[in-house]
Structure 1
Amino acid sequence: MTTSSTAVAAGAGSDRPAENDGAGHRTAPPATGRARFDWLWAAVLTFAAACAGSGTPNLWRDELASWNAAVRSTGDLVEMLGNVDAVSGLYYLLLHGWISVFGDSPTMLRMPSALAMAGAAAFVVLTARTVFDRRTAVFAGLLFALLPSVTRYGQEARSYAFVVFAVTAATWLLLRALKRPSPARWAPYAVAVAAAGLFHIVSLLFLLPHALIVLMRWRQDRRGRTLVGYALTVAVALLPVVPLVLLGQRQVGRQISWIKTPHLRSIAEVWDALFGSPLIALAIAAFALLPLAWSRGRRPAVELALVGAAPIAAAWVVSQGSTSYFMDRYLLFTMPAWVVLAAAGLAALRPRPVGVAGLAAVILLGLPDQRQIRTETVKSGREGEEAAAVIAKGYRPGDGFVPVRGADTVYMTDFQVEYSLPDRVELRDVFARRTAVQSDDLFPVECEQPEQCLGTTRRVWVVTWSGTPNPYHKLPEAQARALEKHYKVVQKTKVRSLQVTLVERVR
């Protein structure tokens, strides 16, 4: 088994010789014939893989938060963003418009992410074709489309697929602009940078390797207008992001204070999670190192390695402070760069069938994880759905609702149940002094004196944790006392880890 040391410089796998850009840098020749549409089949394949089985896993709590925010009116949603989750605001607004047209079934909620991952796949192929060759582009398209993590986040109702899309587009647009800098080429790069920041602030760490790439190019060609053009473009792109950064800083303590300060071993854990499989992560690392070892054409490999590695290193360093941002899904946008590098390593293996066999082996390693992603309990169990079915069966107009919240609010048991309730079931959250919409928040404001909030509610459905005969297990003490004083238990149903109890007023 050997690698071609000139695969980058000579455009291995293409039918035409490599070309030079205006500064003397060697680049892959422009795509011709069917090669021009490689990005399209990669996008379609990625979309199909992400959509397959996307309606099976139940929504988990982060996705339920997306749903809860997106189903509000536009005005209510904007008011909420002033208090919480502003960093997800653009995604929530996009999802709000999508739901108004296509509904809020699990498949429809997740489809925008599948489309975003498909867009990312297109730019993965374009990037591979730009800096390497068509063979690498084909390998990169296949590898990206069939990675477990791409499927995982391509069927999740969160913003991470959009971040991957925006950053991958920005990387290709930067490389394109550096060939022949002009306002017409810097403008779309500015849009991609702004979109990445608006979809997730942490993704702006990709500007560090991009700036390093620009400086490296400048050291070779001394084109001052490239530096000036890049700096001005980034400054303009960040203008709409600055207000979000300021607002996000006010909300950060509430939203991500639970993330722990990372240790060195955390880097290995994040690396495994980036690809959705420890075995695939190891294989990607091995093949991605091959282009860096080439004696010729090493520059594009180094640039892509910077795009993949620098944000991870920067996030780790920044997270040693008072707030940690070191989470695998926050750094998912680094994954495409590693995919392109690994594809280049595989494409350069000789004889060529060895590279094809290596690609097939990596994809096959991910099959167990691909199957697991599509199981019904991979994100959340069916407890909320089954609890909602129990309530719907015995529902009477005017019934109340008491979900376990308090210290366990983070599990969003109320969202799990409410999402699965049919439209005809309208429960009154009896211990909510102000609803989540009224309080411009994700969660309601609960009564300080629960007994006073019960009113004349005749029947109440209590949903809390099972595993104990106590129907009010884990409810705040004042709420449990109020229910015990005025209600008797008439029905108790265990639903997996939840317990649904119907209580009826006695006095």
Structure 2
Amino acid sequence: MATASLSGTPPRRTPALLRRPPLWSIPLLWTLALGLWGLSRQHSVWRDEAATWQVARRSVADIWHMLGQVDAVHGLYYLLMHGLFEYFGPGIATLRLPSVLAMAVAAACVTVIGRRLAGAWAGLAGGLAFGMLPAVQFYLQEGRPYALVAAGAGISTLLLVTVLQGRGRAVHWAAYGATVAACGLLNWLSLLILPAHLVTLLWTRARRGTWTRWAAVATAAVVTVLPLILFSRSQSHQVSWIPPLTWHTLIGPAILLAIGGLGALLDRPRAGRLSVTAVGLPLLAVPQLGLLGLCLVRPLYLDRYILFSMLGLALLIGTALATAVRAAGPRFPRATPWLVPMVVAVAVVALLPQSLAKRSPASRVDDVLAVAEDVRRLKVTGDAVLFVPAARRDTALVSPGAFAGLRDIALAKSPVASGTLKGEEAAPARIRTAMLAHRRILLVTDAPAVARPASAERDKMKAAVLREYFTVVADEQVRGRRVTVYERL
């Protein structure tokens, strides 16, 4: 990645110590700083991150066993996090730093692409804007694979721009195919980047040789991911909770496309020209519209699945700001260099309440660590513990020390042994017998504000026995979770 002055002219030769840092390093460090700011979210971990935490602590053999039952779509990510946990130790920093670093790489890619296609101001503004986008700030500190996919999308798009500019070699095509395949293995919905790149090729009227090479590497990437796609269909029940599309769901994508469309108009798009619009608009629009289209077959729309489309939005915002700089240049030459920094400063102030909210525990549904501390304080050795629903066992899996001395009376087969995230529970009659054999029971469940009505027969039975034979002696609610202590009447 070459260094360029903001005026777009080639930099003069200067001694190494006096050279400016490369332009992409500014958004990279900016995004890195945003990610490190409030990284621990007041020492909280929510349920999705708890899944990463508990699986990453299993052995490779146990992870492989689990993938045959659930979460095969995240297998590569779990294996990566297992390696990091083994080397650095489990912790919040280890859990979230990969996402922070990945988003910083994505911001750098936006900067390089924008600079190449529309000048230094477009690259700088786009890279800085990327880190401030609300969706990016949310997943910037998330112990899940979506930021890594965004980084891969940025790298693959940069490689595509490189070959379209005539700089590509065989190694670039190989890297492109490998990156797209890796992203597909992290989340196969990221393959929606291929139709986005297809639109870019059509827009720019790519040469026949470019088409041939792209088709070959794209096909290889899809073939690599296809076994995962086919196998994951047997685990489709894991996304059965995603609601169908509603008009309310469409508001967010519509706003994003409107903003991106405005940026594209300011870029003055023209067919046959490699421009920010030719790259950024398909990157924004195609994944959004593609996922909405898939929802006609099965509800799948979650913004995190296509988080990488924010790369396109950032590129279009960058070119819009660069257009403003060029327009202001002749009339306000001295103020022009300050336009982008001023817009960034205003955006930081405007987004500050939202940025602070996203770095608080309340930004997520729950916190598995806070309720574990309540269990540690309320338990008495020999007490029994129940989880409703069984998925709330995640707090014990992430913080086993807090549950030491408690007997999980519903559990028949542990999560590791059963190859699941929550374990296998005994039959309702056996759980009832075990409950009646104990004087005190701790119930870990969701707080009423986020709880869903019990649907499993086991959970209905647990509630009925507690209501009929026990009385509440302590009840604590913290960050979306609840622990209630029951004593036998």
TM range (shorter): 0.7 to 0.9
Cα distance in structure 1, aligned partners of 2:272 and 2:170:
32
CA contact (8 A) 1:121 1:145 kept: yes
Query: 2:79: which partner in 1?
Result: 93
Cα distance in structure 1, aligned partners of 2:454 and 2:193:
46
Superposed counterparts of 1:183-262, under 5 Å: 183-217=170-204, 219=205, 223-252=207-236, 254-262=237-245
Cα distance in structure 2, aligned partners of 1:225 and 1:473:
59
Query: 1:493: which partner in 2?
Result: 475
Q: Does 1:415 align with 2:397?
A: no
Query: 1:278: which partner in 2?
Result: none
Query: 1:166: which partner in 2?
Result: 152
CA contact (8 A) 1:35 1:134 kept: no
The 3 A distance-change label for structure 1 pair 376 and 499 is closer
| Structure 1 counterpart of 2:211, one-letter code | L
| Structure 2 counterpart of 1:228, one-letter code | T
Q: Does 1:438 align with 2:417?
A: yes
The 3 A distance-change label for structure 1 pair 101 and 430 is same
Query: 1:113: which partner in 2?
Result: 99
Identity rate, percent: 30
Q: 1:451 aligns with which of 411, 432, 440?
A: 432
Residues 331-360 of structure 1: CA deviation (Å, up to 9, x unaligned): 211111111111111112121446424444
Q: 1:270 aligns with which of 213, 234, 253?
A: 253
Report the number of matched residues.
Answer: 459
Cα distance in structure 1, aligned partners of 2:244 and 2:56:
31
Residues 110-149 of structure 1: CA deviation (Å, up to 9, x unaligned): 1111111111112111111222211211112221223332
Cα distance in structure 1, aligned partners of 2:376 and 2:419:
28
| Structure 2 counterpart of 1:256, one-letter code | V
Superposed counterparts of 1:148-159, under 5 Å: 148-159=134-145
Cα distance in structure 1, aligned partners of 2:396 and 2:373:
9
Query: 1:302: which partner in 2?
Result: 278
Unaligned stretches of 5+ residues in structure 1: 1-10, 18-32, 275-280
Cα distance in structure 2, aligned partners of 1:377 and 1:249:
33
Cα distance in structure 1, aligned partners of 2:37 and 2:128:
16
Q: 1:390 aligns with which of 360, 370, 374?
A: 374
Cα distance in structure 2, aligned partners of 1:465 and 1:36:
50
CA contact (8 A) 1:283 1:362 kept: no
Residues 200-227 of structure 1: CA deviation (Å, up to 9, x unaligned): 111111100212323444x46xx33222
Q: CA deviation at 1:431?
A: 0.6
Query: 1:429: which partner in 2?
Result: 408
Query: 1:24: which partner in 2?
Result: none
Tell me the TM-score normalised to structure 1 length: 0.81
CA contact (8 A) 1:464 1:473 kept: no
Cα distance in structure 1, aligned partners of 2:203 and 2:484:
66
Query: 1:6: which partner in 2?
Result: none
Unaligned stretches of 5+ residues in structure 2: 12-17, 330-334
The 3 A distance-change label for structure 1 pair 212 and 490 is closer
The 3 A distance-change label for structure 1 pair 365 and 200 is same
Q: 1:319 aligns with which of 283, 295, 301?
A: 295
Cα distance in structure 2, aligned partners of 1:341 and 1:375:
30
| Structure 2 counterpart of 1:348, one-letter code | T
Q: 1:104 aligns with which of 90, 108, 112?
A: 90
CA contact (8 A) 2:184 2:225 kept: yes
Cα distance in structure 1, aligned partners of 2:260 and 2:197:
22
Q: Does 1:13 align with 2:7?
A: yes
Cα distance in structure 1, aligned partners of 2:67 and 2:147:
21
Q: Does 1:338 align with 2:319?
A: no
Cα distance in structure 1, aligned partners of 2:274 and 2:359:
39
Residues 285-328 of structure 1: CA deviation (Å, up to 9, x unaligned): 6445311468996744233211211121122122112x122221
Residues 218-256 of structure 1: CA deviation (Å, up to 9, x unaligned): x46xx332222111111222333111111112212x121
CA contact (8 A) 2:107 2:131 kept: yes
| Structure 1 counterpart of 2:318, one-letter code | A
CA contact (8 A) 1:434 1:444 kept: yes
Q: Secondary structure at the match of 1:442?
A: coil
Q: 1:351 aligns with which of 328, 352, 360?
A: 328
Q: CA deviation at 1:104?
A: 3.0
Superposed counterparts of 1:63-74, under 5 Å: 63-74=49-60
Residues 404-438 of structure 1: CA deviation (Å, up to 9, x unaligned): 11xxx5xx433235534536725332111212222
Cα distance in structure 2, aligned partners of 1:417 and 1:424:
6
Cα distance in structure 1, aligned partners of 2:184 and 2:393:
31
Cα distance in structure 2, aligned partners of 1:396 and 1:443:
24
Q: Superposition RMSD on alpha carbons, in Å?
A: 3.3
Query: 1:5: which partner in 2?
Result: none
Cα distance in structure 2, aligned partners of 1:466 and 1:12:
52
Cα distance in structure 1, aligned partners of 2:350 and 2:218:
40
Cα distance in structure 2, aligned partners of 1:125 and 1:268:
28
Q: 2:460 aligns with which of 477, 489, 495?
A: 477
CA contact (8 A) 1:166 1:192 kept: yes
